[in-house]
Homo-oligomer: A and B are copies of this chain.
Amino acid sequence: MARRQEPARGSRQPGALVIIGGHEDKERPAVILSRVLALAGGAGARIAVVPTASETPRAAGRPYVAVLSRLGARSIEVLKLDRRAEAMDPRWPAKLARATAVFFTGGDQLRITSTLGGSWFHRALAARQRRGLVVAGTSAGASMMTDTMIVEGAADQSPTRNTVHLAVGMGLWPGAVVDQHFSERGRIGRLLSAVAQNPAVLGVGIDENTAIEVDFGDRCFKVLGEGTVTVLDGWGAGETNASESRPQEPLALTGVQLHVLAPAWAFRWEQRRPVAPTHGLQRRERLP
C-alpha cells in the first residue's frame, strides 16, 4: 500500500481515475471519497475541486470541502473555472503543480467540456495526470472522462439510434464511454445505442454511490461503493440495424457481452475480462 499512500506527484505512471456514478456518500463511511483521499496521499493530500459543471459552482464545491477536510486532507481548494477565459490562464501548469488530486463535481458535462476543453487548464490537468495526478469526478464529472462522452439521451424507453447524443469528452480514459446514475435512471438503452454505433468503445454504466477506480498500471478498473457497474462489450457483436434504421426506429443489436460487477469486482478493459474478487487480483491489489 506504500506506493498508493505517497503523494502521486512525480510518479512515472498515470494517476488513477475515480469515476463516480453520482450521489456518493458524504457521511461516514464515505467509502468512495475516502478512497480518493487515500489515492491522493492521505494526510498529505492536496485536492483541487472543479465545480465547473454546476450552474452554482460555489454551492457545488462546498460539500466536498467539508467532507474532504473531515476525512483529513491537507488542503482543499475550490478552483474558479467558471469561464473559458479563466481556463485559458497560462499559469495553470504552475497552479496545479502541487495538487495531488483534482475532483470534478456534478452538473452538466457540456459545461465542463465547453469551458475547459483544450484550455491551458485541460492541458495541465492531462499532463499532470499522465505523471501521477489522481483525477476523480462524479456524475457530469464522470461522463467527461472519456474521449467521447454521452451528453444526453432519453431513458426508460425503447432504444433507438436517436437515443443518445454524444460529444467530445476530456480524453483522460480512451476507449470507453461512461454513463452515470445508471440503474437508477434506466439508462441501458442509451449506452447500448452508443456501443451499437461503434463497438470499439466499451460501455460502462455506473450506479449511484458507486465508482470505478481506473488503474493504468494494471490496466484494470475496480468497483467500489454500494451499487453495480454494468459493462457492455460490443466487440463480438453480431448484426445490428444501427447504420440502416431511421433515427426514430427501434435499435437492434445482437451478441453484446454484458457484465454486471458488484463492489470488489474488477475488469481488465484491454482483455475485456471481468475478474471476481477471489481470483486474479494480488493481495496488494485488493480494494480496501
Interface locus among A44-52, A126-134, A156-164: A156-164
Q: Is the CB of A257 within 8 A of B255?
A: yes
Residue pair B258, A257 in contact (C-beta under 8 Å): yes
Contact status B250-A259, CB under 8 Å? no
A259 proximity list for chain B (CB < 8 A): 238, 253-256
Among A224-269, those with CB < 8 Å from B are 226-228, 232, 238-239, 241, 245, 249-263, 265
Distance in Å: Cβ of A204 to nearest Cβ of chain B: 14
Interface range on chain A (Cβ under 8 Å from partner): 35 or more
Q: Is the CB of B250 within 8 A of A159?
A: no
Partner of A258, one of B232, B262, B263, B279: B232
One of B185, B210, B227, B250 near A186 (C-beta < 8 A): B185
Q: How far is the CB of A88 from chain B (nearest CB, A)?
A: 40
Which residues of chain B come closer than 8 Å to A263, judged between CB atoms? 250
CB distance from A212 to the nearest CB of B (A): 14
Are the CB atoms of B158 and A183 closer together than 8 Å?
yes
The answer to whether the Cβ of A189 comes within 8 Å of any Cβ in the partner chain is yes
Residue of B whose beta carbon sits closest to that of A193: B260
Q: Which residues of B contact A254 (CB under 8 A)?
A: 259-261, 274, 276
16 further A-B contacts with Cβ under 8 Å, apart from A254-B276, A257-B257, are A158-B184, A158-B207, A158-B226, A158-B227, A158-B228, A159-B228, A188-B188, A192-B260, A228-B250, A232-B258, A239-B279, A241-B262, A249-B262, A252-B261, A256-B258, A257-B258
A-B residue pairs in contact (CB < 8 Å), sample of 16: A155-B186, A156-B183, A156-B184, A158-B207, A158-B210, A158-B228, A159-B228, A183-B186, A186-B186, A188-B188, A228-B250, A228-B251, A253-B259, A254-B261, A255-B257, A255-B274
User: Can you list the 8 inter-chain pairs with the closest CB atoms, starting with the nearest?
Assistant: A186-B186, A158-B227, A252-B262, A250-B262, A254-B274, A258-B258, A239-B276, A256-B258
